[in-house]
């Protein structure tokens, strides 16, 4: 963890829907507190395009090590198998990390241990769900039952390999259809790009072993929605979000970008509101 004077220096790995949205948001709204010092993507044209659009002339963009060196906090927003190694590199360099690919972190105890050892912050935004503030508080008393029901349009499941394996042709779905019901481990394994929120909810609630995830699609759906029901001796929590889809990626909700930005804002200012 770096002790900082001046603006928080931010390096963004992954310039897709989330990385681009966050870079634009930082430049537009957080100029007082944050500065983008590094951008990296294996699709180098995306980096060039974004750096040009945001007039980031001095930004580091050649490699991940160079980006890590340039920043205080690395934002991870990649669709990569190597996500955990990328995060590991930043933690080894004693840099804080804001990670969006939470599905990959569900069982990443090694990274949590490394972050603690290095005295680094590992920030995991809520994404496109509501109610994690209350869920975290309730988890202290124990949550007896927890269900996440995610509804997404057919476009979110085009070319999905799990559905192909199950013999489900997404273009032949004509009515509201439950395409998955099971544990969070199975959900994250089978829908790695679609269900990061399930992993975030599991980590926040401590209910990995008994929470239920249900995924439903329909030709009628136009947006991504997530409904949470939690019960325990604290009472009952029910939340629902109806999310606008990111134009750059139909699997990703705009609220996920905003949630990453809000977490970065609180972290850069050192003031956290909510649990």
Ligand X SMILES: NC(=O)c1ccc[n+]([C@@H]2O[C@H](COP(=O)([O-])OP(=O)(O)OC[C@H]3O[C@@H](n4cnc5c(N)ncnc54)[C@H](O)[C@@H]3O)[C@@H](O)[C@H]2O)c1
- Provide the annotated active-site residues: 226
Per the CB < 8 A criterion, the answer to whether 2 and 11 are in contact is no
CA 41, 244, 36, 54 torsion-angle sign: positive
Could you tell me the two tokens for 154?
């057919």
Residue 193, interface with ligand X (CB under 6 A)? Answer: yes
Q: CB neighbours (10 Å) of residue 53? A: 12
Residue 122, interface with ligand X (CB under 6 A)? Answer: no
> Hey, which residues between 43 and 72 contact ligand X (CB under 6 A)?
43, 46
Q: Which is nearer to ligand X, 35 or 194 (CB)?
A: 194
Task: Please tell me what DSSP assigns to residue 81.
Answer: T
Q: Identify the CA nearest to 170 among candidates 226, 212, 216.
A: 216
Residue 217 bridge partners (DSSP): 152, 177
Residue 84, interface with ligand X (CB under 6 A)? Answer: no
Least distance between ligand X and beta carbon 172 (Å): 26
Q: Identify the CA nearest to 217 among candidates 146, 158, 131.
A: 158
Q: Which of 12, 13, 36, 71 binds ligand X (CB under 6 A)?
A: 13
Per the CB < 8 A criterion, the answer to whether 195 and 187 are in contact is yes
Least distance between ligand X and beta carbon 235 (Å): 26
Q: Which is nearer to ligand X, 37 or 200 (CB)?
A: 200
Residue 128, interface with ligand X (CB under 6 A)? Answer: yes
What is the spatial distance between Cα 77 and Cα 44, in angstroms, rounded to a whole number?
15
Residue 90, interface with ligand X (CB under 6 A)? Answer: no
Q: Which is nearer to ligand X, 189 or 193 (CB)?
A: 193
Q: Which of 77, 106, 120, 188 binds ligand X (CB under 6 A)?
A: 77
Q: Which is nearer to ligand X, 4 or 52 (CB)?
A: 52
Residue 131, interface with ligand X (CB under 6 A)? Answer: no
Q: What are phi and psi of 183, to 5 degrees?
A: -80, 165
Least distance between ligand X and beta carbon 43 (Å): 4
For 8, 198, 221, 227, the CA distances from 129, given in Å and listed in that order, are: 27, 9, 17, 8
Binding site for ligand X (CB under 6 A): 13-19, 40-43, 46, 77-80, 82, 100-102, 127-128, 193, 196-197, 200, 248-249, 252, 256
């Amino acid at each position: 963890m770096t002790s900082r004077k001046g603006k928080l220096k931010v390096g963004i790995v992954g310039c897709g829907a989330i990385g681009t949205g966050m870079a634009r948001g930082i430049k537009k709204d957080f100029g007082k507190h944050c500065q983008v010092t590094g951008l990296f993507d294996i699709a180098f044209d995306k980096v060039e395009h974004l750096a040009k659009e945001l007039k980031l002339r001095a930004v580091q963009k050649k490699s991940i090590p160079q980006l890590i060196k340039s920043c205080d906090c690395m934002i991870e927003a990649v669709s990569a198998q190597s996500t955990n190694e990328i995060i590991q590199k930043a933690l080894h360099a004693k840099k804080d990390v804001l990670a969006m690919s939470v599905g990959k972190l569900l069982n990443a105890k090694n990274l949590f241990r490394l972050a603690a050892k290095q005295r680094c912050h590992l920030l995991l935004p809520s994404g496109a769900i509501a109610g994690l503030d209350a869920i975290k508080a309730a988890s202290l008393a124990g949550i007896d039952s927890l269900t996440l029901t995610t509804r997404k349009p057919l476009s979110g499941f085009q070319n999905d390999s799990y559905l192909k394996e199950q013999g489900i042709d997404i273009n032949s779905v004509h009515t509201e259809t439950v395409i998955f019901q099971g544990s969070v481990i199975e959900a994250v394994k089978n829908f790695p790009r679609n269900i990061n929120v399930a992993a975030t909810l599991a980590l926040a609630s401590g209910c990995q072993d008994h929470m239920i995830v249900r995924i439903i699609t329909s030709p009628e759906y136009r947006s991504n929605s997530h409904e949470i029901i939690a019960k325990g001796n604290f009472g009952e929590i029910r939340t629902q979000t109806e999310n606008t889809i990111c134009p750059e990626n139909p699997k990703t909700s705009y609220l996920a970008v905003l949630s990453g930005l809000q977490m970065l804002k609180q972290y850069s200012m050192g003031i956290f509101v909510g649990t």
